[in-house]
Amino acid sequence: MVQPRQIVRLLALLITTAAWVSAQESDPNIPSELNIGFGVAAYNSVYKGDDSETLAIPIIFYESEKFYFRGRMGGYRFFGDETFSVAAIGQWRVDGYDDDDSWFLRGMKDREMTLDGGLSATYFDGWGATTVSLVTDLLGRHDGQELTVSYGHRFLSERWTLIPAAGVLWKSNNLADYYYGVRAGEAISGRPAYSAGDGWDPFVSLYTTYKITDQWSFLATLRYEWLGSEITDSPIVNDHYQAMLMAGLMYQF
């Protein structure tokens, strides 16, 4: 059965990539823009015994001079211009699992989603954009932090937009251990206790849109993240990567 957590996780992976479109096209002189649509997305679960999923998902983006909303992420730009800007951000972290997500997780305490908050800064160098963000847990679930550094460039034609990007995520030991560790009371034969430390996870992404009409656009995105050894050494983790592929349609209001 498809669970709300799985839908939100796909939205989160989509927004992480799609945010490049919003960042690359941010301009304080353009009017507010709302895009609503739908798509189909597929992703792999990194946990043992948890199947990959293919789901239909909604798409919602809103951009204005100061505020933006990108599915699971919202922000307020309080400083900067077209070259450099800083924003306060909040984002719903969708990592985690329920113990009934797979047979191998039975007896584990559920790892909950949470709300992270922090700052994000974007710098345009004339060719591409560098974005650095740092967030921390606001609800006391994992009590950790995550740093993201990424760089991307936008290629344009009359109807096509193509944005390749690459970056790296740093997850603190509290964050990694909460979602990928095994506590002493959860250890069983074949699932020993494990404490995850902090680590770096590189990723690449590709986002493309095709303007069908003035209002309708086709979009597709691919994201691939290599998981560090602090995560992959966990006895509950099965894959060495997290991947997502999505395609859909958006209508601009």
Residue 27 contacts residue 33 (beta carbons within 8 Å): no
State pLDDT tens for residues 47-87.
Answer: 999 877 788 888 888 888 889 887 678 899 999 888 999 99
Closest residue by Cα to residue 116 from 138, 94, 86, 88: 138
Euclidean distance between CA atoms 103 and 66, whole angstroms: 46
Summarize pLDDT for 133-161 with one digit per residue, the tens. 999 999 999 999 999 999 999 899 989 99
Distance CA 177, CA 184 (A): 12
Q: Yes or no: say if 99 and 110 are a contact pair by the CB < 8 Å rule.
A: yes
CATH 3.30.420 fits 4-252, yes or no: no
pLDDT of amino acid 204: 94
Its pTM stands at 0.86
Cβ contacts of 152 within 8 Å, gap of 6 or more? 20, 23, 24, 128, 129, 163, 164, 165, 166, 205
Pair 228, 199: CB distance under 8 Å: yes
Using the predicted structure, report yes or no on whether residue 38 has a pLDDT greater than 80.
yes
Q: Higher model confidence: residue 108 or residue 28?
A: 108
Closest by alpha carbon to 42, among 68, 13, 66?
13
CA–CA separation, 216 and 223 (whole Å): 23
CA-only gyration radius of the chain, Å: 19
Report domain extents, the chain: 4-252
The answer, yes or no, to whether residue 29 has pLDDT greater than 70, is: no
Residue listed under structure tokens 């099965």: 238
Question: Burial, 221: exposed, middle or buried (Cβ in 10 Å; 0-12, 13-18, 19+)?
Answer: buried
Mean local confidence (pLDDT), 201-216:
94
